[in-house]
Amino acid sequence: MLEAYKLSKMEKNHLKGKDFLQLSDYSTDDIHYLLDVAQELKAQQKQGKPHPYLSGKVLGMIFEKSSTRTRVSFEVGMLQLGGHAIFLSSKDIQLGRGESISDTAKVLSRYVDGIMIRTFSHDSVEELAEHASIPVINGLTDLQHPCQVLADLLTILEHKGKLVGLKMCYLGDGNNNMAHSLMEGAVKTGMNFSIASPEGYLPNGKVTGKAIEAGKLTGSTVEVTNNPQEAVKDADVIVTDVWTSMGQEEETEKRLKVFESYQVNEDLCKLAKNDFIFLHCLPAHRGEEVTADIIDGPHSVVFDEAENRLHAQKAILKLLLAK
């Protein structure tokens, strides 16, 4: 059914000025369209063709969490699209000294054309979007990481030639922004999704429920289990993330023990399809959530995935900010 999507080159006017907070807010058609735009922009860059769709536009970038890929992809993306990006550390703006989120949203709306924020609380991003009169992009929260997952979908599409009918398996902390956004992105694009996490670290129930409902429309399934061998069986795509995210450092020793059997290693990957690909949003801790022979081996596409952050982010920016 979904293979019939051959998206028009005509811009999706209903996306103009919209926020990008989580993939569940977007239809299957919209996500396919964003991937189509990302592929076009990537091709234009590789061919050396200028694409200044955002000439004169300015993106304000608020960072409460440190970043490599998010900051560089958005900053370079705006430059390549003809616009400009402003880095706003929460320590350097009044938000870090007690100014309300609503006031910050209203002020920035008078200065810039869009806001990208990378922070802890998803509620903060929702509040920012509620009070801003310009598009707000979720660069990461503790609940969701939609920009990364759009790049992941682009990477899978490039390496597998399709998304529909593939099986994506996530291993590790299920109550994690990557797990949540991967689940949403997979079912929205017709992929089956399995996740293996220990008790106490299962994905958010509301996110899982919404994903199951979305899967009914696309024919996708969601499997949540504690058994990593069961989850990874016949997987086309294996994904993991660090076991200890930013803000959880005091739990490191506990988590190393809890997640030990969820490590992506050669023995576990033998249960996947022979041509599986491995993804990781990076940074990675080799020897913890994944062994070096997997992340640095022939099945790994993590650096294609990292590059695609740029192209996926440019698609989001073009769709939301271009005239």
Residues identified as active-site: 118, 145, 148, 241, 281, 309
* Paired sense of beta strands 136-140 and 114-118, if any: parallel
d(CA 323, CA 5): 25
**CA-wise closest residue to 240 among 188, 302, 298:** 302
Report whether 169 belongs to an annotated binding site: no
CB neighbour list of residue 222: distance below 8 Å, 6 or more residues apart:
183, 187, 192, 193, 194, 195, 208, 211, 212, 215
Report whether 246 belongs to an annotated binding site: yes
Report whether 281 belongs to an annotated binding site: yes
d(CA 150, CA 248): 25
Report whether 97 belongs to an annotated binding site: no
d(CA 231, CA 272): 9
Report whether 147 belongs to an annotated binding site: yes
Report whether 163 belongs to an annotated binding site: no
Check: CB of residue 224 under 8 Å from CB of residue 203: yes
Counting Cα atoms < 13 Å in the Cβ hemisphere of 278 gives 26
Report whether 68 belongs to an annotated binding site: yes
Report whether 70 belongs to an annotated binding site: yes
Report whether 159 belongs to an annotated binding site: no
Report whether 245 belongs to an annotated binding site: yes
- Enumerate the known binding-site residues: 67-70, 94, 118, 145-148, 177, 241, 245-246, 281-282, 309
Q: Which residues are annotated as a binding site for carbamoyl phosphate?
A: 67-70, 94, 118, 145-148, 281-282, 309
List, as residue ranges, the binding site for L-ornithine: 177, 241, 245-246
